[in-house]
């Protein structure tokens, strides 16, 4: 998945307007304009489309964590300059205070099966022998499950 896909999907899931998106980027330590947000949210083939860089999406996800969980005392959120699906998945897990059972239930809502062991492998350090890269399909199904959970309320 591209960063723009993730940004569009999270915006839709939580029904954020432009002002809220700008606020979330700010909470994550990045000052953005409405024009930049608009260009990132456009479809890939649309005129004016701009690719969302890793550091920009990381700032947005950090802002989402601050919105949902609050500011952590003494810790400054520094946006990663390189994102992977594993990092994106982890940031969403933290922001929504999800445990393994919650994630498995959300993924199951999207009719996708994943074992607890497969799931835990995504959240390990890359140097761990049981680490596994999160494929686009898994992240896409997780986001689909989030949409089913939060948009159907």
Segment 49-69, tens digit of pLDDT: 999 999 999 999 999 999 999
Predicted local distance difference test score (pLDDT) of residue 136: 96
Judge contact between 2 and 8, C-beta under 8 A. Answer: no
Judge contact between 72 and 37, C-beta under 8 A. Answer: no
Q: Provide the mean pLDDT of the chain.
A: 94
Quick count: other Cβ atoms within 10 Å of Cβ 54?
A: 16
Give me the residues of the chain with pLDDT under 50, please.
none
* Cα–Cα dist 75/12, whole Å: 29
**Measured CA distances, 61 to 23, 28, 56, 102 (Å):** 12, 7, 9, 19
Predicted local distance difference test score (pLDDT) of residue 91: 96
């Amino acid at each position: 998945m591209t960063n723009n896909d993730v940004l569009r999907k999270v915006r839709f899931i939580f029904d954020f307007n432009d002002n809220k998106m700008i606020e979330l980027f700010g909470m994550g330590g990045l000052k953005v304009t409405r024009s930049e947000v608009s260009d990132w949210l456009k479809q890939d083939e649309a005129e004016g489309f701009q690719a969302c860089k890793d550091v920009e999406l990381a700032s947005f996800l950090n802002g989402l964590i601050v919105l949902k969980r609050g500011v952590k005392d003494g810790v400054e959120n520094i946006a990663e300059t390189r994102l992977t699906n594993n990092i994106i998945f982890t940031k969403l897990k933290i922001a929504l205070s999800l445990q393994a059972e919650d994630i498995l239930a959300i993924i199951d809502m999207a009719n996708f099966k994943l074992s607890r062991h497969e799931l835990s492998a995504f959240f390990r350090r890359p140097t761990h022998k049981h680490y596994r890269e999160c494929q686009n399909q898994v992240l896409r199904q997780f986001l689909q499950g989030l949409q089913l959970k939060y948009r159907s309320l």
